[in-house]
């Protein structure tokens, strides 16, 4: 594709850029296929501001006779303003931004063009494969096997080529189970609890439909999961009523009569549009500086964002509790099993498993539980909180995960190996990135688009020695124990680092973080 | 007080953990003259819970159940102790005794006056000279050629709620001082409270003028004129009336009110809109209810927070301080602050402004001095506001609570700017209510002098100072940019949070808490010790080297290695073990129990009897709550030396 078709005006002089924390700056604005480039030469020093067009969520233009103002609202919640001389130029630039910021062909996106000197396309893409993950967990290998039934993505398009299933269940059975689960997402193992051998499984809803259809293979598979341990729990991330209603559209739930050894618990987690609207309301509340304390609190409540954080952590706590304290295996699913399911299963793993709390371990968790497990990033993160575009498949499930992880890290400042800047970086990269990691909706799509050959991997980059320190928690002290978060509303807080990122408030807090880091380094150095 | 104790001891009492009602400790309840003490039966732990009578706000007795009678004790610092007493009769006795013991009728019944003043005479006398208010005025550069000390109020002649020593403009003559005083509510004339050396602007405080609809006083007008002239180069002053304008206008009908801008040349009147003590009292009740909600939904919580109005009031107080600080530091304009009587909202606004303006007031000693000046010396009615004696409930209001909370909100916004931590503020708050020291008794300097408190009680300040290690904010550095100059806080509503450490302490026991600053403090202490050790070793090496040159180097290396090994387990030990970290989760599902520990209990030996001598009870303080259990025990300076007796009461950290 030729980007130049869409760039009528490539350069404008004497543009004024206004952005948070900086005085207005005058300089030259330049539009390229993927960036806005703003440069200003002040004597000898020249300054360059580079903005990825993909980061722009909404654009508002106010043209007047001889000039115009463009307000850019970015997906990282930053708001910028450009004063452009010349109405024609202003409109041309606005049009280019509108078009180029919402490209939807994957191979046109910037990660396919990003070629930094320090990185090579020959570098490893991704951190680990299902095979490697399986090989590392020797304890589970006598009861669990690695199945390649999905090696060509034909059984479940959103699963990776290899998944872990009970030893006694053969591939033929899996194919049948897949037909009984929405999108072919049959139950697979996502976590093995070393202390007691219990597991966390995840899947999509069973397609029982209005006639309460059964699938013997599905029942067999779940029976094999709890082999010997007697009772398992199913955490359904929908309310009981929602689950009942799903039967009308072909979905459903595991009934007591067919799955007698499984106890179902319903915990309603919001998803989709409700979640997206919650984010929009929260960001709107944070951006309005004029109102009173009462109005702020009422807007904060009205956005319901913190309620979603609360429910997600509470459900993850419940799941972890079933596994660690009650000693039962758990299956998690909602309807599609690609959103709330992943949110709950990955938070529970952070609570239980110290290996997922290191920097490497956390990124590994994201790779396993979000990228390979088929969270549809491209659909969910097409737009963020400012966009006026009609909502389609957008939902900030991943941002909600990061917020919950931040809450965990805030309650256990010593337990996590990674830092708040890592979470903030991920929150930005998931919407607009130089790297290919969050492109596409599944492993299959990523392979088909050549993402792994033609883009660089964000996770590999974050683990480079040059980056590692910044994203590590200076206070980190590993603990083998589970970290049980307090889910009292009084204990949960607005994530100021993200939602008030562009206010002076966040700057003070950041300085304090820096001070803390320096002090620890100083103290450790001294002793 | 002993005569009020009907039952000194009740056995088989259960102390209920409110976060996990089915878990309870069984033990014996003792009532002493000063404390209620619960001692667990379990011979291994024998945890103790102490509640000082003067901290008790209320004792409720819900209807008796088959298993016995419950007593729910709410304290003035928002903690809750729930007891289950087998016999209804005992419960009624305990309730009646506590009701009486917690509401003393005379000052002499108070803790600090019930101890022998001559037991530690020297220490007592010394304790009162710990702070020197006059030295603080000198630090500000007062007196100088603009502001002078006046003897007008010696023996409290012009105003019995003011300190005897006052600073006024040099040009204010005695007739002006006396005349102005007569024109102000309760004689509280405009006097200096803070002088900003950089701009020569001053903060003065007073009460409302007796202006009514038309009255005026030439002397009072001259007084304000003199204040303006004491700031060379400025041609007006601000008069900040911290009340809502409507309230100020209503006061005119009673012959009071505010300054008429037509009569006073060169003043700019500014209303701030801090609500009165009654509104604040109700609001605090509501926010403390929010803090006590057991399993609220997020919606309930936020709605409760909003409808309490508390954060709105905190913002109003902070906004008042910001306005004054800006006028003084940025515009270089002097400010006269008043409300009605000038002892509540005025104290809040002036002291918040001082914290913003002057880095010194963000240190421990500075904050003590500030409280001593703007609150104690200027006649804030501590005994009335904090209900020290059984009195008019309408006089009670959390005025200084709000000031301390403003400081806390600021410290959350500027984590490096304050020398002290949250614990310091919580402790100050406690002592405003506890009456264990004489500092906050009475309602004015005159009352305190007449009671002879300096001769009969100890001062709190040196005690806090002695324990300063546990109140230190490790992020504070005197040379940090945040530490210097004036603070310019953001007062956008989203900057205000509920003060969980104050209003939601019940819950503290349940989540395993780790605080980075606690860790850092411990690391620092550890480092310091190691450095000292290293120095010692090096000195010894130096000696040895002299004796034997060849072996010196080897010795040095070895010692460094020892230091490395020692550092890890000590300084940065993970919060593991069977402490709070393994606490079972709570609240995910209703059937689950709570954690074993409670914030309010101490795993200690048998009681040694209450009173200022039972100091060592505080030793295991921080472990229950912070999740950094083993850290505090490593820092050797966490000392056994004389600690605050009140910490025995609650293991607040």
Top residue of B475, B494, B495, B507 to mutate, by most chain A CBs within 10 Å, is B494
CA distances from B543 to B534, B540, B555, B589, B653 (A): 14, 5, 12, 66, 44
- Any known ligand binding at B266? no
pLDDT of B24 reads 85
Give A321→chain B minimum CA distance, Å: 7
pLDDT of B526 reads 66
* Peptide linkage before B483 cis (omega within 30 of 0): no
Q: Which residue of A has its CA nearest to B519?
A: A475
ipTM exceeding the 0.85 mark: yes
Cβ of B298 within 8 Å of Cβ of A415? The answer is: no
Top residue of B20, B312, B493 to mutate, by most chain A CBs within 10 Å, is B493
Top residue of B302, B530, B595 to mutate, by most chain A CBs within 10 Å, is B302
Sign (positive or negative) of CA dihedral B93, B94, B99, B103: positive
Q: How confident is the model at residue B586 (pLDDT cuts 50, 70, 90)?
A: very low
CB contacts of A523 in chain B (<8 Å) are 520, 523-524, 527, 571
Q: Is the pLDDT of residue B357 over 70?
A: yes
Q: Give the count of beta carbons closer than 10 Å to the beta carbon of residue A327.
A: 15
Touching check for A312 and chain B: CB below 8 Å? Answer: no
pLDDT of B89 reads 92
- Any known ligand binding at B339? yes
Cβ of B587 within 8 Å of Cβ of A488? The answer is: yes
Closest to B490 (Cβ–Cβ): which among A482, A491, A505?
A: A505
Give residues with Cβ within 8 angstroms of B341, minimum separation 6.
B185, B186, B188, B207, B208
Angle at B286 between CA B282 and CA B291, to 5 degrees: 145
Among the residues of A367-503, which ranges form H helices?
377-380, 397-411, 420-429, 443-448, 451-454, 458-462, 465-471, 496-499
B179 vs A21, residue with greater confidence: B179
Return d(Cα B277, Cα B274) in angstroms, integer. 9
Give B306→chain A minimum CA distance, Å: 5
Q: Taking the CA atoms of chain B, what radius of gyration do you get in angstroms?
A: 27
- The listed range with the strongest mean pLDDT (A470-474, B177-181, B509-513, B561-565) is B177-181
Return d(Cα A303, Cα A307) in angstroms, integer. 9
Q: Which residue of B has its CA nearest to A486?
A: B511
Q: Which residue of A has its CA nearest to B480?
A: A515
Q: Which helix H or strand E contains B39, and what residues bound it?
A: strand B35-40
Q: What is the DSSP letter of B610?
A: S
Touching check for A475 and chain B: CB below 8 Å? Answer: yes
- Any known ligand binding at B342? yes
Touching check for A26 and chain B: CB below 8 Å? Answer: no
Return d(Cα B6, Cα B97) in angstroms, integer. 6
Touching check for A505 and chain B: CB below 8 Å? Answer: yes
- Residues in chain A predicted with pLDDT less than 70, given as ranges, are 1, 43-44, 228-229, 525-527
Q: Which residue of A has its CA nearest to B294?
A: A488
CB contacts of B581 in chain A (<8 Å) are 479, 481, 483
Identified catalytic residue from B159, B339, B435, B621: B339
CB contacts of B474 in chain A (<8 Å) are 519
Q: How confident is the model at residue B5 (pLDDT cuts 50, 70, 90)?
A: confident
Cβ of B495 within 8 Å of Cβ of A479? The answer is: no
Q: Report how far apart the first and last C-alpha atoms of chain A are (Å, whole number).
A: 59
Quick check: is B339 catalytic? yes
Q: Is the pLDDT of residue B512 over 90?
A: no
Tell me, rounded to whole angstroms, the distance of Cα A390 from its chain centroid: 21
Q: Which residue of B has its CA nearest to A310?
A: B298
Q: Which residue of B has its CA nearest to A319?
A: B588
Q: Which residue of A has its CA nearest to B527?
A: A527
Return d(Cα A467, Cα A471) in angstroms, integer. 7
Name the residue with tokens 């004339």: B189
Touching check for B413 and chain A: CB below 8 Å? Answer: yes
Closest to B588 (Cβ–Cβ): which among A294, A309, A318?
A: A318
pLDDT of A245 reads 94
pLDDT of A403 reads 98
Return d(Cα A129, Cα A141) in angstroms, integer. 16
Q: If you average pLDDT over residues B233-238, what whole number do you get?
A: 94
Q: Which helix H or strand E contains B13, and what residues bound it?
A: strand B9-16
Scan residues 265-294 of A and list those with Cβ closer than 8 Å to B. Answer: 285-286, 289, 291-294
Q: Tell which residue, B286, B322, B244, has the closest CA to residue B498.
A: B286
What pTM was computed for the model?
0.86
Q: Can you read off the two tokens belonging to residue A41?
A: 């030469």
Inter-chain CB pairs, A–B, below 8 Å = 192
Touching check for B295 and chain A: CB below 8 Å? Answer: yes
Cβ of A527 within 8 Å of Cβ of B305? The answer is: no
- Any known ligand binding at B597? no
Q: Is the pLDDT of residue B342 over 70?
A: yes
Least confident range from A10-19, A310-319, B9-18, B580-589: namely B580-589
B19 vs B161, residue with greater confidence: B161
Cβ of A297 within 8 Å of Cβ of B311? The answer is: yes
Cβ of B415 within 8 Å of Cβ of A477? The answer is: no
Give residues with Cβ within 8 angstroms of B284, minimum separation 6.
B308, B310, B398, B401
Q: Is the pLDDT of residue B591 over 60?
A: no
Q: Can you read off the two tokens belonging to residue B4?
A: 């009020």
Closest to B572 (Cβ–Cβ): which among A477, A483, A492?
A: A477
Touching check for A195 and chain B: CB below 8 Å? Answer: no
Give residues with Cβ within 8 angstroms of A110, minimum separation 6.
A34, A35, A52, A54, A433, A434
Return d(Cα A253, Cα A241) in angstroms, integer. 11
pLDDT of A40 reads 86
- Any known ligand binding at B345? yes
Give residues with Cβ within 8 angstroms of B303, minimum separation 6.
A301
Q: Which helix H or strand E contains A74, and what residues bound it?
A: strand A67-74
Touching check for A515 and chain B: CB below 8 Å? Answer: yes
Touching check for B512 and chain A: CB below 8 Å? Answer: yes
Q: Tell which residue, A509, A178, A248, has the closest CA to residue B482.
A: A509
pLDDT, tens only, B468-486: 999 999 889 877 776 788 9
pLDDT of B520 reads 67
Touching check for B405 and chain A: CB below 8 Å? Answer: no
Q: Taking the CA atoms of chain A, what radius of gyration do you get in angstroms?
A: 24
Q: Is the pLDDT of residue B652 over 60?
A: no
Q: If you average pLDDT over residues B540-561, what whole number do you get?
A: 51
Return d(Cα A322, Cα B561) in angstroms, integer. 45
pLDDT, tens only, A279-311: 999 999 998 887 789 999 999 999 999 999 999
- Any known ligand binding at B421? no
Q: Report how far apart the first and last C-alpha atoms of chain B are (Å, whole number).
A: 30
Return d(Cα A458, Cα A433) in angstroms, integer. 9
């Amino acid at each position: 594709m030729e980007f130049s078709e869409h760039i009528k005006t490539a350069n404008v002089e004497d543009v004024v850029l206004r952005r948070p924390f900086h005085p207005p700056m005058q300089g030259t604005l330049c539009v390229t296929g993927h960036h806005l480039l703003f440069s200003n030469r002040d004597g000898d020093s020249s300054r360059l501001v580079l903005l990825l067009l993909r980061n722009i969520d909404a654009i508002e233009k106010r043209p007047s006779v001889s000039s115009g103002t463009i307000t850019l609202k970015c997906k990282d919640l930053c708001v910028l303003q450009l004063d452009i001389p010349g109405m024609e130029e202003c409109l041309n630039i606005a049009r280019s931004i509108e078009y180029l910021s919402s490209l939807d062909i994957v191979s046109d996106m910037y990660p396919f063009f990003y070629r930094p000197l320090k990185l090579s396309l020959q570098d490893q893409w991704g951190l680990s494969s299902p095979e490697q993950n399986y090989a590392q967990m020797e304890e589970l290998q006598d009861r669990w096997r690695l199945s390649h039934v999905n090696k060509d993505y034909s059984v479940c398009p959103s699963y990776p080529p290899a998944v872990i299933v009970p030893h006694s269940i053969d591939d033929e059975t899996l194919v049948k189970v897949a037909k009984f689960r929405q999108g072919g997402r049959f139950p697979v193992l996502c976590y093995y609890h070393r202390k007691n051998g219990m597991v966390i499984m995840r899947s999509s809803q069973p397609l029982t439909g209005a006639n309460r259809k059964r699938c013997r293979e599905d029942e067999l598979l779940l029976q094999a999961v709890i082999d010997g341990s007697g009772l398992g729990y199913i955490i359904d991330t929908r309310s009981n009523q929602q689950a009942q209603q799903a039967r009308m559209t072909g979905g459903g739930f595991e009934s007591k009569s067919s799955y007698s050894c499984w106890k179902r618990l319903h915990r309603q987690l919001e998803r989709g549009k409700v979640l997206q609207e919650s984010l929009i309301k929260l960001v709107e509340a944070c951006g309005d500086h004029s109102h009173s304390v009462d109005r702020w609190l009422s807007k904060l409540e009205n956005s319901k964002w913190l309620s979603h954080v609360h429910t997600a952590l509470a459900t993850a706590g419940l799941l972890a509790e079933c596994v660690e304290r009650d000693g039962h295996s758990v299956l998690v699913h909602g309807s599609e099993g690609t959103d709330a399911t992943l949110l709950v299963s990955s938070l529970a793993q952070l609570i239980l498993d110290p290996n997922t709390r290191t920097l490497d371990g956390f990124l590994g968790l994201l790779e396993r539980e979000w990228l390979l497990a088929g969270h549809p990033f491209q659909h969910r993160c097409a737009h963020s909180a400012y966009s006026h575009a009609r909502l389609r498949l957008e939902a900030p499930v991943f941002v909600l995960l990061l917020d919950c992880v931040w809450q965990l890290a805030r309650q256990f400042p010593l337990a996590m190996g990674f830092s708040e800047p890592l979470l903030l970086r991920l929150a930005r990269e998931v919407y607009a990135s130089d790297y290919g990691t969050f492109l596409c909706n599944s492993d299959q799509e990523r392979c088909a688009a050549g993402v792994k050959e033609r883009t660089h991997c964000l996770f590999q980059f974050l683990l480079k020695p040059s980056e590692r320190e910044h994203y590590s928690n200076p206070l980190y002290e590993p603990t083998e124990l589970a970290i049980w978060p307090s889910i009292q509303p009084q204990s949960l807080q607005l994530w100021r680092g993200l939602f008030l990122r562009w206010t002076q408030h966040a700057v003070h807090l950041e300085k304090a973080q820096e001070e803390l880091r320096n002090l620890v380094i100083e103290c450790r150095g001294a002793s | 007080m002993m005569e009020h104790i009907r039952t000194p001891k009740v056995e088989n009492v259960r102390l209920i953990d409110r976060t996990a009602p089915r878990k309870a400790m069984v033990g014996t309840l003792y009532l002493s003259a000063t404390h209620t003490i619960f001692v667990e039966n379990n011979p291994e732990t024998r945890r103790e819970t102490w509640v000082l009578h003067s901290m008790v706000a209320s004792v409720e007795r819900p209807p008796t159940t088959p298993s016995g009678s419950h007593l729910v004790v709410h304290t003035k610092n928002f903690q809750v102790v729930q007891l289950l007493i087998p016999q209804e009769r005992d419960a009624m006795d305990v309730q009646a005794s506590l009701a009486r013991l917690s509401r003393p009728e005379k000052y002499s019944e108070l803790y600090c006056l019930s101890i022998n003043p001559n037991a530690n005479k020297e220490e007592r006398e010394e304790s009162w000279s710990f702070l020197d208010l006059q030295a603080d005025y000198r630090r500000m550069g007062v007196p100088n050629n603009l502001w002078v000390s006046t003897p007008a109020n010696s023996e409290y002649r012009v105003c019995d709620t003011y300190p005897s020593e006052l600073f006024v403009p040099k040009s204010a003559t005695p007739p002006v001082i006396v005349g102005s005083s007569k024109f102000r509510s309760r004689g509280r004339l405009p006097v200096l409270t803070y002088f900003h050396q950089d701009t020569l602007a001053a903060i003065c405080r007073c009460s409302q003028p007796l202006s009514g609809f038309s009255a005026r006083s030439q002397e009072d007008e001259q007084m304000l004129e003199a204040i303006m002239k004491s700031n060379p180069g400025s041609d007006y002053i601000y008069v900040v009336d911290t009340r809502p304008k409507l309230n100020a206008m209503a006061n005119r009908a009673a012959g009071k009110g505010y300054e008429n801008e037509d009569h006073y040349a060169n003043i700019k009147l500014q209303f701030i809109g801090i609500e009165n003590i009654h509104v604040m009292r109700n609001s605090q009740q509501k926010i403390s209810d929010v803090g006590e909600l057991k399993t609220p939904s997020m919606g309930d919580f936020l709605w409760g927070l909003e409808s309490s109005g508390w954060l709105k009031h905190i913002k109003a107080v902070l906004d008042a301080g910001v306005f004054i600080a800006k006028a003084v530091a940025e515009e270089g304009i002097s400010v006269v602050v008043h409300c009605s009587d000038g002892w509540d909202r005025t104290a809040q606004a002036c002291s918040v402004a001082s914290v913003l303006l002057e880095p010194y007031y963000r240190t421990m000693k500075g904050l003590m001095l500030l409280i001593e000046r703007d609150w104690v010396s200027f006649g804030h009615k501590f005994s009335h506001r904090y209900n020290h004696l059984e009195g008019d409930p309408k006089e009670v209001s959390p005025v200084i609570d709000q000031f301390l909370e403003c400081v806390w909100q600021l410290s959350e916004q500027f984590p490096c700017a304050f020398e002290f931590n949250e614990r310091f503020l919580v402790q100050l708050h406690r002592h405003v209510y506890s009456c264990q020291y004489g500092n906050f008794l009475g309602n004015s300097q005159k009352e305190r002098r007449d009671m002879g408190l300096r001769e009969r009680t100890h001062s709190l300040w040196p005690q806090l100072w002695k324990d300063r290690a546990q109140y230190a904010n490790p992020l504070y550095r005197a040379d940090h940019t945040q530490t210097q100059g004036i603070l310019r806080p953001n007062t956008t509503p989203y900057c205000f949070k509920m003060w969980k450490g104050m209003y939601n302490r019940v819950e503290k026991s349940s989540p395993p808490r780790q605080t980075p600053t606690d860790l850092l403090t411990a690391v620092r202490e550890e480092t310091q010790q190691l450095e000292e050790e290293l120095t010692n070793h090096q000195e010894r090496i130096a000696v040895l080297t002299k004796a034997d040159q060849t072996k010196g180097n080897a010795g040095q290396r070895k010692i460094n290695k020892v230091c490395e090994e020692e550092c890890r387990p000590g300084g940065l030990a993970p919060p593991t073990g069977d402490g709070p970290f393994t606490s079972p989760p709570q609240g995910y599902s209703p059937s689950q129990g709570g954690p074993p520990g409670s914030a309010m209990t101490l795993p200690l030996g048998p009681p040694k009897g209450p009173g200022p001598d039972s100091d060592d009870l505080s030793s295991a303080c921080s472990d229950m709550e912070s999740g950094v259990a083993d850290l505090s025990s490593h820092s050797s300076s966490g000392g056994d030396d004389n600690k605050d007796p009140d910490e025995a009461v609650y293991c607040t950290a």
